Structure 1
Amino acid sequence: MGRGRVELKRIENKINRQVTFSKRRNGLLKKAYELSVLCDAEVALIIFSSRGKLYEFGSAGMTKTLEKYQRCSFNPQDNSAENETQSWCQEVSKLRAKYESLQRTQRHLLGEDLGPLSVRELQNLEKQLEGALNQARQRKTQIMIDQMEELRRKERQLGDMNEQLKMKVSLELSSLHSEGQGLRPLPFQWNSTNSSPGNTSFALHPSQSNPMGCHNNEPVLQIGYHYVGGESFVPRSMADESNMVQGWVL
């Protein structure tokens, strides 16, 4: 009697399912080995159990066989290159159409090639030009206002600097004027015939032997200017001071 046909469905009994998995796994690995030996084929077998345990077999090495499989069987490069080429072609077409449209618009804005345009298109073009002109005028006005504000700010700064310089110059002039109006000592000179410390006699006027009617042997004190060669001599420092007394003569 032969075995009956086994229905292909999940075995509900856990023990029977585990036993069946072990038997058929070993048989599958044996068949893979026999195929690789008998037919000189490169066989790679990978099995994961329900618990996630790995079972594998590679006649020429699992890594080598997988790399060969990726190179030969799974080759998405051709499809990706073709898709990329088509994408670039579409992008180039879009850019070319956009470039031509921009060129037409530029010519229309410059007043060229207006013949094919309809009345509505000409009205739209006129509105665009008016809007652009208004924006240009607003921008020009704003720039001029900014420049005026900057010039005013610089003017205020220069005015402040001018005021500071005026105050500084005024203070310096006041200081110099106060120093010039200060009291200065009068220069005077005592003329003595004898410069020795012990001698207290004063020099006589050369043109008067006895100016006060005194005897010749009495000393005479002279303060202020004196005569030299028949002319009066006044120190220059005293002559410059208009508000000072020129001198006293005894």
Structure 2
Amino acid sequence: MLQSQLRRSSTKNRDRDQSREEIEQDVMARGKIQIRRIENATNRQVTYSKRRTGLFKKANELTVLCDAKVSIIMFSNTSKLHEFISPNTTTKQMYDAYQNALGTDIWTSHYAKMQEDLEKLREANRQLQKEIRRRMGYCMEDMNMEELVFLQHDIENAVTNIRERKYKVLANQIDTTKKKVRNGEGIHRSLMQAFDVLREDPQYGLVDKAGDYNHVLGLRWIPGDPNFPSATASCLTTYTYLE
């Protein structure tokens, strides 16, 4: 019986310890921040500002407490620059110290890479200039038969493409001109019809109110009047429609 009581007491203590451990783990899990990208843009910017301020504060504390030289360069997701540099030092001094510590010269290596890229661009430019001169009939002395045949086919294809493009442009211009001619012919027919109607009936299109319509145009065509100008094809465009 005593052994049974001891086993029950041991089981209770073990359950109590396990429960306490689970509670502590749950508290730690609730207080832990999951590190992942913040989707909300506003929250992301606020967090960046707060963390940046805290980081710069810690860097300043390291400078004051430990007499350390600290340099921090940060760019936000909007490419805005933020930097911290310990007092009594400069960014160039920090870079020089960095190079001395590593035994390298980042500026020289960067310059060498730029020179290499520049030489590649110059070589590409020389090749393009040579291709242009060859297509103009120059600089072909060092070309073998295969290169000459390839150049011939290339030029023939270029001529074909140019000819097709030229025909397409001409076709578009012809189509546009035909549309303008049809439009001009339509306007001419309308003007001729309006002139014929006006010549046959001088009162055509005038609104007769109380028998007085002369005030509408301010003129009246009197057959046989020598002062009335005769209509010709060249002056048709001076007449307007009477609606």
Shorter-chain-normalised TM-score: which range? 0.3 to 0.5
TM-score (norm 1): 0.43
TM-score normalised to structure 2 length: 0.44
Instruction: Compare relative contact order (CA 8 Å, sep 6+) and give the higher one, 1 or 2.
Output: 2
Structure with greater Cα Rg: 1
